[in-house]
Amino acid sequence: MNVGILGLGLIGGSLARAYAKAGHSVYAAEENTSILEFATLAGVVEDALTEETIGNCDLILLAIFSGGCVAWLEKNAKHIHSDALVIDCCGVKDTVCSHCFPLADRYGFTFVGGHPMAGSHYSGFKYSRSNLFQGAPMVLVPPRFDDPVLLSRVKEALSPCSFGSFSVTTAKDHDQMIAFTSQMPHIVSNAYIKSPTASAHKGFSAGSYKDLTRVAWLNPTMWAELFLSNRENVLTELDTYISSLQKYRDAIAQNDEASLIALLDEGRRIKEEVDG
């Protein structure tokens, strides 16, 4: 299988490594030519993904910022073979799918929205690895929900990644959920580390601190685009969180132990219910 990959960062690089390891031919497009050259010398990439090679690809994976994915597909859709499958790996789906589904219909190829639920607080090709997605969930947003043949085709095409499970949803539902499960934790972590106390934490911190601050180390440009692309859902989650924090603050400020215990127990019970 010939696989085209747009972007050789952590996600795109890991995809490239997974497919190359499985014996497939990988063609890649990467702004940083030195990274593309390194990936080629390392045997991960066979050749550049260009107007000349796009038409040879059976599968194309879009693994850069959402705006860049849409722009690339708008420019190159005419070169994609009608039998090809195109899957994006962006963190938002509504803005991507609303642009890419019509492009696929116009030019005859198949587009499916995708979001691999795997990653790291590190970024770049040097941190990519072939087993990044092993056992991880993969969220799919297909153009049709009554096409089991398409879903089987997608799962087969993604088999070198060794995903642990697949979820099928709409772009709207994906973005609503991801605002809570992914985008909010990054905001909370990034805001939390701004405490003036943070500079003196060494020797006083353990697992709780590490768990909460891990994703504060992020790619600012990428995450800003994701937050703004999913603005309404993120604002809803932010407002809910701020309202909850205010209740804790009020109970502590008023020395109201009973209310504080009730709030803490409520959170503990909800955690137990949602995560077993």
Q: What is the pLDDT of residues 165-190, one digit of tens each?
A: 999 999 999 999 999 999 999 999 99
Percent of the chain with pLDDT over 70: 100
Q: What is the pLDDT of residue 130?
A: 97
Q: Is the pLDDT of residue 247 over 80?
A: yes
In angstroms, the CA 113 to CA 169 distance is 10
| DSSP code per residue over 103-141 | HHHHHS-EEEEEEE----S--SGGG--TTTTTT-EEEEE
The three-class DSSP label of residue 89 is coil
State how far the Cα of 6 lies from the Cα of 77, in Å rounded to an integer.
13
Q: What is the mean pLDDT of the chain?
A: 96
Reported pTM: 0.91
pLDDT at 122 over 90: no
Q: Which range among 61-65, 193-197, 204-208 shows the weakest confidence by mean pLDDT?
A: 204-208
- Per-residue confidence (pLDDT) for residue 210, from 0 to 100: 92
Contacts of 74 (CB under 8 A, 6+ apart): 99, 103
User: Residue 197: what pLDDT?
Assistant: 94
The residue assigned the tokens 């995708």 is 114
Q: How far is CA 87 from CA 35, 84, 93, 109, 113, in A?
A: 22, 10, 11, 11, 6
Question: Are 44 and 20 contacting, i.e. CB atoms less than 8 angstroms apart?
Answer: yes
> What is the band of 227 on the pLDDT scale with cuts at 50, 70, 90?
very high
The string of pLDDT tens digits covering residues 5-63 is 999 999 999 999 999 999 999 999 999 999 999 999 999 999 999 999 999 999 999 99
CA-CA distance, 122 to 120, in Å (whole number)? Answer: 5
- The answer to whether the beta carbons of residues 36 and 16 sit under 8 Å apart is no
Least confident of 153-167, 205-219, 233-247: 205-219
For 58-105, write each residue's pLDDT tens digit: 999 999 999 999 999 999 999 999 999 999 999 999 999 999 999 999
pLDDT at 203 (0 to 100) = 85
At 246 the pLDDT is 98
Residue 121 has pLDDT above 80, yes or no: no
Kindly state the average pLDDT of the residues 115-127.
Answer: 89
Q: Residue 120 pLDDT more than 90?
A: no
pLDDT in the model for residue 175:
98
pLDDT of 183: 97
